Amino acid sequence: MTGGARAGAAGGDAHQLAEVSSPSMAEIVRLTNRPSDNYVAESLLKGLGARFGSAGSTAAGASVVEETVSADGAGPTVVDGSGLSRADQTSAHDVVRVLDGVRDDAGGAVFRASLPVAGRTGTLRARMRGTAAAGRCQAKTGTLSDVSALAGYCRAVSGHDLVFAVIMNGVSLSPARSEQDKFASALVQLG
């Protein structure tokens, strides 16, 4: 047989050689968020482009994300799926709008369950231990060489469910994370 790979219907004499079942979307999202796996995040963005956009590309996926979050009044500039490009731009206000917009959706519950828990799991395992935020906040970190972000949800001691985002530019990472942890702890106590 000559030629390259192509899509099409298998002939009647074809035999299945293997089958692979994908993990559930909830599991894929958890496997992306808890360890902060940028490669899987990029793949998910391309998958969004393939399923809901014009192509299985980063640009098509970014367009899908921008269009989707505009329903919550957010207007980010999305260039990649991992947030590692300095051309990605958003505000803490937009992040809170999106997180608040999905909070009560079934998909939002899956997303929230995928987030690291302060003082317990993922990228927050060693953060906020021994503070009021430990076990009460679920959040995603974001880091570049001089940028640090933390965004997610906290259950205040009052019982209120709070949405927050902190994005810090031009900072040293360790002191920035320390300030974010203090903020989350104060939020839990005052909310």
pTM: 0.88
Angle among Cα 9, 15, 19 to the nearest 5 degrees reads 90
Between the alpha carbon of residue 161 and those of residues 115, 152, 158, the distances in Å are 15, 11, 9
Distance in angstroms (rounded) separating the CA atoms of residues 48 and 89:
19
pLDDT tens column, 2-38: 788 888 888 889 998 999 999 999 999 999 999 999 9
Q: In what order do the strands lie in the sheet with 137-144?
A: 137-144, 147-155, 161-169
Mean pLDDT rounded to a whole number for the chain:
95
Section 158-164 average pLDDT = 97
Q: Is the pLDDT of residue 143 over 90?
A: yes
Distance in angstroms (rounded) separating the CA atoms of residues 57 and 79:
11
Distance in angstroms (rounded) separating the CA atoms of residues 152 and 36:
14
How large a percentage of the chain has pLDDT more than 90? 90
Section 133-145 average pLDDT = 97
Q: For the CA atoms of 136, 105, 100, 66, what is the dihedral angle to 10 degrees?
A: 130
**Both structure tokens of 79:** 């260039």
Residue 153 pLDDT level (bands cut at 50, 70, 90): very high
Q: Rounded to the nearest 5°, which phi and psi values hold at 93? A: -60, -45
Distance in angstroms (rounded) separating the CA atoms of residues 159 and 88:
34
Distance in angstroms (rounded) separating the CA atoms of residues 167 and 91:
8
pLDDT for the residue 1: 60
pLDDT tens column, 83-130: 999 999 999 999 999 999 999 898 899 999 999 999 999 999 999 999
Distance in angstroms (rounded) separating the CA atoms of residues 92 and 113:
21
Distance in angstroms (rounded) separating the CA atoms of residues 66 and 50:
15
The structural domains of the chain, with segments of one domain joined by +, span 23-89, 115-191
**Both structure tokens of 64:** 């899908």
